[in-house]
Structure 1
């Protein structure tokens, strides 16, 4: 069992072994709070760029749906007449200077998520360890009139106008503790300071019948300070996450999700922060029980040996970006693009906020 799995079982499950780190929590809390206070005290923090900056991030470790949310925002903003660009860190990539990511870029050079976003969004995208430098490089494209930061909630050197915090619909805040005892990068109270808290949910029927109060209670389940967040329901947005079909890794062929029902045996492959959500989506789509799950660490660097050669394989779109560069013999390898359908109320609210920042007519 990997160290990542051990931590996740403690943060989001019943294991309590990370409580051995409790003595250092006061120091962690002090350092996290100091970083936030320094940002708020900086009177020049809103003067870095002259276009709106939207941060899509989280306060918890693990997959929360940032990438599909970024793609959904790109579509909404383009429809509203904006020309958005994206900045990202480029996880696992040495990018001390800005790098422009294109549809032909390699995941090994630019990171899996940036390449996926560049290909799906058809928008300019720049990666850099310094997101401020990334934004300035992005704005050399004079068409860009709005910036979306993929992650970067805690990158306080970067100014921002709108913050969208992603929270996993099933795992919520975990045990509600700061790292390393829990999965939180910042205290749960940080949710009260962002513009929106977005939770992606795959069950449309549940979304239709669930009130914001019920959704909030589920997301904060297990967090002892739940009474402190009574005003959070005004920020909460629940949106359905859906899969439209499968795409063949080698040929680009599109297939209905019904193809899953024909897989009497198959291998599921994922190197993401929350593979259980990927599995849940496939099971909802009709995947039979004869599957094996092969989970790797987030941003895993795949090799040919990681992919089965004699059975159908289904993977995430992010992993497909890396595996497409491998010389796979198996031609029965498919990946699952997912989409977010944003509520009309949220879209209207967001566009109003963007308009107030940009002054766009």
Structure 2
């Protein structure tokens, strides 16, 4: 984990030096963000309304909060209802030949970005990336999409939206509560109250506080049931994989290039693996074969699905990844993902 992230989320002693130095930039960022939002609210900047419903999945901070599993869940459930869904994404770190760019079977992680390629490989729905979300959405509409999910589009105010999900990391929450760069937040916590639904990833006491703002609050867990070989694509049930690794005392190596690598490592330990060597990389790390040479080949190397799409071209036989799915629980007040999905489905019916 980078030092600045330790300052943001763990209260590292360096905060007494770093935060005061960055506070003037944070004040400037806050002022610019405020007037930018205000410009859209008063109509100085124009919001563009698409001809189909747009559902935003985002967060108010940086780093991995679980947005991609939420997007995949929405795509799966809406597709099951016969709705043609498309996904629009910025495509962070992508180097596509042109924009907007439609992700295809031939796309590489370098062209499409890791998360868009992951979503496409898992869902096979149309995915279009580009900094101009309006053009990207228009392309999806031309492809016949009846509903668009904007992955990580909460702060892209030019794109009008019909429904907003804000995903919150139940463990890290909002770090030190400050805006960038002194803290990890892109918007203040009050922004959450203007969303339609909050999803808390992992067990947390925070939902009780969120209920005070009368928002639907859902609790989500990330569930893993199988491991997949990066090189061959072979699937093995997680319990079977654990049993097979008993001869090696369940010893594995692990890497993660996500917003919170430690969350992945904790998951592996909870499953029952004995972690020998672990390495956390920065989010969206562009892996090379050299990066993975530090891991011996005599025991399995486990990684996240997002990492696997970037390691496929040089994968070894011992490279495996652990796909996860969003699993929602009904809250004590009776709020459930089914009720929220009914509201989203209604948006499509209204447009029809």
The question of a shared fold, defined as TM-score above 0.5 by the shorter chain, is answered with yes
Structure 2 residues not aligned, in runs of 5+? 331-335
Deviation at 1:301, TM superposition (A): 1.2
In the alignment, which of 257, 266, 272 is matched to residue 271 of structure 1? Answer: 257
The 5 Å alignment of 1:292-307 reads 292-307=277-292
Deviation at 1:25, TM superposition (A): 3.0
Write the deviation string for residues 231-285 of structure 1: whole angstroms up to 9, x where unpaired: 2363321122100110011111111223245354322011111111111221121
Structure 1 residues not aligned, in runs of 5+? 202-206, 218-225
Aligned to 2:301: 313
Write the deviation string for residues 160-196 of structure 1: whole angstroms up to 9, x where unpaired: 1111111111000111110111100001110111111
Quote the Cα distance in structure 2 between the aligned partners of 1:337 and 1:246: 7
Quote the Cα distance in structure 1 between the aligned partners of 2:36 and 2:45: 16
| Residues 191 and 232, structure 1, Cα contact 8 Å, conserved in 2 | no
* Aligned length, in residue pairs: 334
Quote the Cα distance in structure 1 between the aligned partners of 2:300 and 2:344: 46
Write the deviation string for residues 85-112 of structure 1: whole angstroms up to 9, x where unpaired: 0011111124562111023311111111
User: Residues 119 and 353 (structure 1 numbering): CA distance in 2 closer, same or farther, change over 3 Å?
Assistant: closer
Quote the Cα distance in structure 1 between the aligned partners of 2:318 and 2:123: 26
Quote the Cα distance in structure 2 between the aligned partners of 1:140 and 1:286: 47
Secondary structure class of the residue paired with 1:237:
strand
User: Residues 355 and 190 (structure 1 numbering): CA distance in 2 closer, same or farther, change over 3 Å?
Assistant: same
Aligned to 1:245: 226
Aligned to 1:348: 339
The 5 Å alignment of 1:132-211 reads 132-142=134-144, 144-201=145-202
2:264 is aligned with 1:283 = no
Aligned to 1:125: 127
Secondary structure class of the residue paired with 2:86:
strand
Quote the Cα distance in structure 2 between the aligned partners of 1:63 and 1:34: 27
2:238 is aligned with 1:257 = yes
User: Residues 333 and 230 (structure 1 numbering): CA distance in 2 closer, same or farther, change over 3 Å?
Assistant: closer
| Residues 268 and 293, structure 1, Cα contact 8 Å, conserved in 2 | yes
The 5 Å alignment of 1:43-58 reads 48-58=49-59
Aligned to 2:333: none
Quote the Cα distance in structure 2 between the aligned partners of 1:31 and 1:316: 36
Deviation at 1:41, TM superposition (A): 2.1
In the alignment, which of 115, 125, 128 is matched to residue 113 of structure 1? Answer: 115
Secondary structure class of the residue paired with 2:278:
strand
| Residues 52 and 351, structure 2, Cα contact 8 Å, conserved in 1 | no
Secondary structure class of the residue paired with 2:32:
helix
Deviation at 1:46, TM superposition (A): 6.2
Aligned to 1:13: 10
Quote the Cα distance in structure 2 between the aligned partners of 1:44 and 1:18: 35
Aligned to 1:222: none
Quote the Cα distance in structure 1 between the aligned partners of 2:110 and 2:29: 33
| Residues 22 and 181, structure 1, Cα contact 8 Å, conserved in 2 | yes
